[in-house]
Amino acid sequence: PGAPAAGMRRRRRLQQEDGISFEYHRYPELREALVSVWLQCTAISRIYTVGRSFEGRELLVIELSDNPGVHEPGEPEFKYIGNMHGNEAVGRELLIFLAQYLCNEYQKGNETIVKLIHNTRIHIMPSLNPDGFEKAASQPGELKDWFVGRSNAQGIDLNRNFPDLDRIVYVNEKEGGPNNHLLKNLKKIVDQNTKLAPETKAVIHWIMDIPFVLSANLHGGDLVANYPYDETRSGSAHEYSSCPDDAIFQSLARAYSAFNPPMSDPNRPPCRKNDDDSSFIDGTTNGAAWYSVPGGMQDFNYLSSNCFEITVELSCEKFPPEETLKSYWEDNKNSLISYLEQIHRGVKGFVRDLQGNPIANASISVEGIDHDVTSAKDGDYWRLLVPGNYKLTASAPGYLAITKKVAVPYSPAIGVDFELESFSERKEEEKEELMEWWKMMSETLNF
């Protein structure tokens, strides 16, 4: 299990299924595996890098979509990120397997997968901390432990390294203030912040560049799907701290855990004898209820962008033996697909002006939920919601807001477009109306 590099390579072709080799991939093998997927599925995939780790390894992403490299207006963007703690290895491997699996299934004509790939832009980053992984993987067998390789090469725990927006939102909740996109002057802040690891910076830029809608962040060390908020409101060690979208997040987390038998097994004993898993329900947990995490990537997504992210803990053991990888795949593959499909829920559409031009950065608010999303460059927006009746309001500076009522089923997403009238247009209209009235008056009264 997790033997030195040579050992891993020697066992390379031990377990294989349809191009998926169930073994640990070091950095070269990771790259190779992604290249193989790209070569096999050139029409629907693309590899890119969001930047480099501290030691210079590319933070590789493989994108799967029917038009790779392009954001198609109206097509939601999804991401999976694994191995942000380098010694939490299962997520990294699952994502490599997933990429290959999606490619294979697409070519086999698997309807679910074909539909997903045609209607979603799926980004898969198997490892956000390749440096940490190398360190962890180099540990001989039994010595793989809870800490070595967890942080990046600088010793920074990436999941504590993001700007802490939870604190800001808690203040805003009390005193008023924005409920979304809390990181103002983002670029400047990020680039000038010396405390941010290169991996963290890269991800932040990535989040800002692509209008992600849904995401999951894969970890290890336990078996649960964790959702926002991660940090307790009061500052205590454990406290259920719900975010405005608690309902949909519970649904999203369940959509993952329900398909993972051990994760959703109510009778499963905790990973370690003295673990407190009292907050776990149906394989899900509110982050802060489990334990408080400040500066995490999950909440950063929710509070700085439109992206809803959950954290999935995939394995009691952080770096389990290679022989177990196949069974982890079996336990998770349906969950990974199910979670992907969640992106096609709620409401989606376009915000345009009266001439049909897209209005970017319009706000879409939902009555009763204190969290707004914004429209992307093409005016497109996506608002994940659990089934129910809602009032959606689209607004943008210089435009008159419009509210629409929507009945939302479980899925698929309901399309709702907004055509906003700008103030000046309204002024013109009013002016015209006034002129009309004046004309009528003058005719009647013989001015």
User: Looking at the annotation, which residues are catalytic?
Assistant: 313
State which residue, 39 or 435, has the beta carbon closest to other proteins. 39
Cα–Cα distance for residue pair 108/98, rounded to 1 Å: 15
Please state the closest distance from residue 46 (CB atom) to other proteins, in A: 8
Q: How far is CA 30 from CA 96, 126, 127, 143, 382, in A?
A: 7, 8, 9, 23, 32
Stretch that binds other proteins, among 35-43, 80-88, 153-161, 238-246 (CB under 8 A): 35-43
98 contacts 80 by C-beta, under 8 angstroms = yes
| Vertex 333: Cα angle to 332 and 335 (nearest 5) | 65
Structure tokens at 49: 């890098």
Please state the closest distance from residue 87 (CB atom) to other proteins, in A: 23
State which residue, 6 or 445, has the beta carbon closest to other proteins. 6
Indicate whether 13 belongs to the interface with other proteins (CB under 8 A). yes
Cα–Cα distance for residue pair 421/304, rounded to 1 Å: 28
CA-CA-CA-CA dihedral for 341, 284, 408, 358, to nearest 10: -60
**Which element (helix H / strand E) includes 169?**
helix 165-175
DSSP 302-339: HHHSS-EEEEEEEESSSS--GGGHHHHHHHHHHHHHHH
State which residue, 48 or 240, has the beta carbon closest to other proteins. 48
Indicate whether 48 belongs to the interface with other proteins (CB under 8 A). yes
State which residue, 100 or 232, has the beta carbon closest to other proteins. 100
Cα–Cα distance for residue pair 38/103, rounded to 1 Å: 8
Indicate whether 110 belongs to the interface with other proteins (CB under 8 A). no
Please state the closest distance from residue 50 (CB atom) to other proteins, in A: 11
- Binding other proteins (rule: CB under 8 A), the pick from 4, 14, 17, 43 is 43
Q: Is 380 helix (H, G, I), strand (E, B) or coil?
A: strand
State which residue, 61 or 297, has the beta carbon closest to other proteins. 61
Please state the closest distance from residue 128 (CB atom) to other proteins, in A: 16
Q: How far is CA 366 from CA 275, 351, 369, 374, 386, in A?
A: 38, 15, 6, 12, 12
Which residues within the stretch 344-383 sit at the binding site for other proteins (CB under 8 A)?
none
- Binding other proteins (rule: CB under 8 A), the pick from 4, 14, 39, 433 is 39
- Binding other proteins (rule: CB under 8 A), the pick from 1, 7, 19, 294 is 19
Cα–Cα distance for residue pair 43/319, rounded to 1 Å: 34
State which residue, 36 or 422, has the beta carbon closest to other proteins. 36
Please state the closest distance from residue 41 (CB atom) to other proteins, in A: 7
Stretch that binds other proteins, among 46-54, 142-150, 264-272, 427-435 (CB under 8 A): 46-54
Stretch that binds other proteins, among 37-45, 132-140, 340-348, 399-407 (CB under 8 A): 37-45
Which residues within the stretch 49-108 sit at the binding site for other proteins (CB under 8 A)?
49, 52, 58, 60, 107
CB atoms < 10 A from the CB of 331, how many?
20
Cα–Cα distance for residue pair 75/266, rounded to 1 Å: 36
What residues line the site for other proteins (CB under 8 A)?
6, 9-10, 12-13, 19, 28-29, 31-32, 34-43, 46-49, 52, 58, 60, 107
